[in-house]
Structure 1
Amino acid sequence: MNIKIRQEKGTDYKVSENLVEKAFKNAEYSDQKEHLLVAKLRKSDVFVPELSLVAELDGETVGQIMLTKLIIENEENRYNTLALAPVSVLPEHQNKGVGSKLISESLKVAKEIGFKSVIVLGHDKYYPRFGFKPASIWGIKAPFEVPNEAFMALELEVRGLEGIRGTVVYSKEFLE
């Protein structure tokens, strides 16, 4: 299976949104509005075009991922990081490595363009394979009640989260 990962273009947007909707249609922990979130994030100031990627298989778009800017704040400081959300793969192509390739490539690009860390709220059995650990290790908290093991962080560079403590502040698009 030859999966090609590339930056998403404007001409991909509708296809991507349909893909995201299909990917989350039967997801257990979903409000089935992730496709609307993707559209809103693209129009926001947290959007990083280089970190909106698609996966193609034989010319068909089968997956999409987006990393957007995020803040960790405490009483004294605000720190920049990224949110990994969402990652989507068409149901008929799930469990074939498409999501893993999207995640790996997006993390590589994020590091190359200078980001130091990534936050994800996700499956605690899946994301650790990419190096994610509970964010609480660094004293980073979610702004809402979530299981500790599901709220994770990843340092893209050595000590990328050193000395950073606080609560994640998601952009308004995530909260609408």
Structure 2
Amino acid sequence: MTDLKLTIRRELPADSAAIERLHERAFGPGRFARTAFRLREGVDHVADLSFTALVGTLIVGSVRVAPIRAGSLPALVLGPLTVEPAFMDRGIGAALMRASIEAARAAGHKLILLVGDEPYYARFGFRPVPQGRLELPGPVDPRRFLYLELEAGALDGAKGPVLADAGAGR
């Protein structure tokens, strides 16, 4: 069998349907009720910060990033990060994470939030948001509400509700 190379590239509009099917397989219909999904409701993901993983022409992973407000501050919410189950544990999720974080840093963004497993995301520098600092639009285990400062002190001024930022420029 031919060994196919992994390619990480920015998400293209033509990828959308395949990525939605990937999300459906990975997260099921219950994904729409999750707090992390509600943060992105009504807001397009940022194309320049969202990436797709391909093996040959097959989409095997995706990470999307959307604009939010953390209290009064602009920020990003990372997710969903999805890898096709048959391709898990091959470093694809980590490659997507690195691409997205570096693109956000290069674009001058200062703060990324996400809802996820700290043991996985800690290797990228994510830490739990201090309790009482920010409020999500639904229930989340506080140990799963994580942040990454792309600029030192970026979380310092963030206090209050976390909401989708429909007015953010793309």
Considering the TM-score relative to the shorter chain, is it more than 0.5? yes
User: Percent identity of the aligned residues?
Assistant: 29
**How far apart, CA to CA, are the structure 1 residues paired with 2:136 and 2:31?**
21
Give ranges in structure 2 of 5+ residues lacking alignment: none
Other-structure match for 1:55: 53
Give ranges in structure 1 of 5+ residues lacking alignment: none
Other-structure match for 1:140: 134
How far does residue 47 in structure 1 lie from its aligned partner after superposition? 2.8
Other-structure match for 1:98: 92
* TM-score (normalised: structure 2): 0.81
The CA deviation string for residues 3-35 of structure 1, in whole angstroms up to 9 with x for no partner, is 21111111111111112222224xxxx71449x
Other-structure match for 1:68: 66
The RMSD of aligned alpha carbons is 2.6
1:31 aligns with 2:30: yes
How far does residue 161 in structure 1 lie from its aligned partner after superposition? 1.9
Other-structure match for 2:19: 16
The CA deviation string for residues 50-78 of structure 1, in whole angstroms up to 9 with x for no partner, is 122100122321001100001112xxxx1
How far does residue 46 in structure 1 lie from its aligned partner after superposition? 4.5
* TM-score (normalised: structure 1): 0.79
**How far apart, CA to CA, are the structure 2 residues paired with 1:46 and 1:59?**
24
In structure 2, give the amino acid aligned to 1:12. Answer: D
The CA deviation string for residues 143-168 of structure 1, in whole angstroms up to 9 with x for no partner, is 33322211011001222223322221
Other-structure match for 1:153: 147
In structure 1, give the amino acid aligned to 2:47. Answer: P
- Tell me, yes or no, if the aligned pair for 1:134 and 1:150 is still in contact at 8 Å: yes
Cα 1:133–1:11 shift into 2, 3 Å: same
How far does residue 99 in structure 1 lie from its aligned partner after superposition? 0.7
In structure 1, give the amino acid aligned to 2:105. Answer: K
- The answer to which structure, 1 or 2, has the higher relative contact order (CA under 8 A, 6+ apart) is 2
**How far apart, CA to CA, are the structure 2 residues paired with 1:65 and 1:107?**
10
